[in-house]
Amino acid sequence: MSRAYSDLAFTPTVRAMQTRMGSRSSYARLDQAEDRRDALTEREAEFISERDGFYQATVGETGWPYVQFRGGPAGFLKVLDAKTLAYADFRGNLQYISVGNLQGNDRVSLMLMDYANQRRLKILGRVRLVSEAEDQALLARLRPPQYRAHVERAFVITVDAYDWNCPQHITPRFTEAEIEQAVLPLRAALEQARSELARLRAASPHRP
């Protein structure tokens, strides 16, 4: 875990619970870490560019968290720089819960999953909502080509912290494209076997 993430996630009550459960000593070293690791690197940028969806949480005036899944073509969540993410907000069911929550609390939590390889990336940040009237060039940059969806605004996220989670308890799941890629060697081997069988049949003497 990074120093930046622990500074935000390890509140006094969380630290007290860690002490109570005996895990505090293993995390205490983070308080002295000089490198906060709060800027995205090429590793995170590559991972983010491969995702076709993520989970997003906001909090409203009632204090209740609201989690939703945001989906689109792979790479629709873009890394603008080491501290900034952005994506086009496609029109959905018109409830505007996330957008409404962000009017009073700009904090957001993202979880990006790679089920096939049992990887997950957590991101904490603050959101700025940008309309097309405010920045037409930005929305044009974020609008995925050949993706039929109405873009209402841009979510621009300033990254405060991120953390890679361990692979524990992530059940591997595979997309159609991932399965197709995995079976390519099997298809090639099958075609080779069929060709070899056809050759042997052609070469063998015909029996009456």
Q: What is the CATH number of the domain that holds 129?
A: 2.30.110.10
99 and 85 in a common domain: yes
Whether 83 and 168 map to the same domain: the answer is yes
Q: Is it the case that residue 153 has pLDDT exceeding 90?
A: yes
141 and 57 fall within a common domain: yes
Across the range 4-20, mean pLDDT stands at 95
Question: Which pTM does this prediction carry?
Answer: 0.87
Return the bridge partners of 66, or none: 58
Same domain, 45 and 107: yes
pLDDT digits (tens, 9 = 90+) for 29-69: 999 888 888 999 999 999 999 999 999 999 999 999 999 99
pLDDT at 208: 55
Q: pLDDT (tens digit, 9 = 90+) per residue, 134-149?
A: 999 999 999 999 898 9
Domain that holds residue 155: 38-173
Q: How far is 208 from 205, CA to CA, in rounded Å?
A: 10
Q: Given CA atoms 138, 139, 141, 142 in this order, what sign does their dihedral have? A: positive
